[in-house]
Every structure is written in C-alpha cells, then in structure tokens.
Amino acid sequence: MQRTARMSQIEAMLADDPKDAFLRYGLALEYRTAGETALAANQLRDLLADEPYVPAFLMAGQLWIALGDLEMAAETLRAGMVAAKAQGNEHAWGEMSGLLATVD
C-alpha cells in the first residue's frame, strides 16, 4: 500500500483518541483513495461495530458493492437506514435507500 502523509497524520491523532469516529472514517477514506478497498471496508465495519456513524454506512455499502459482497452491502445499508432515521437524517436515509434498491 502506498502510505500517505495524511494517513500518518490521522493515525497519530487516533493514537490520542482511538474511538474518534470522524478520524476513523477519514482513515478509511484515505485507504479507499489509495486503492485499498478491502482495508477501507474493514476499517468502516470496525467503526460501525463501535458506533453508528451515519456517513460510514453509505461509504461501507459502496465499498462492499465494489468488492462484490452484495449481501454485506445490503446488510450495512439497512442498518445505516435505521441509524439515519433514528438521527433524523433524511438525506442520508434517502441516499442509502437508493443504493440499496440497486443491490436488492
């Protein structure tokens, strides 16, 4: 994997606060940008196991689709829709619903 300075910066900040959802999400995005789709998806799966960070559900669903795991994508998107609804985030709910329709 091509390590970037940004990855190192995020990892350093995570060392101080390993549960920071925004940083964990950011690291997953860096992995995706580096072409490490599976690593990014697993990073998001681990994040979502700890916290229902709504933006991570959509990104994880997209990554699972890219990896060909449509079952995991659908499961992730459904869970994300529940989390988005609970947080009153209709926009995210709609995006996940639309993506789920392409998978189901």
- Per-residue pLDDT tens listing for the chain (104 residues): 778 899 999 999 999 999 999 999 999 999 999 999 999 999 999 999 999 999 999 999 999 999 999 999 999 999 999 999 999 999 999 999 999 999 98
CATH number at 64 reads 1.25.40.10
- The pLDDT of residue 103 is 92
pTM for the model stands at 0.91
Range of the domain at 85: 5-103
| Cβ atoms of 61 and 96 closer than 8 Å | yes
- The pLDDT of residue 2 is 79
d(CA 34, CA 49): 23
Structural domains in the chain (count): 1
Q: Which residues contact 101 (CB under 8 A, 6 or more apart)?
A: none
In angstroms, what is the C-alpha Rg of the chain?
14
- The pLDDT of residue 50 is 94
- The pLDDT of residue 1 is 73
| 104: its two tokens | 């189901």
Where does residue 35 rank: exposed (0-12), middle (13-18), buried (19+ CB within 10 A)? exposed
- The pLDDT of residue 104 is 82
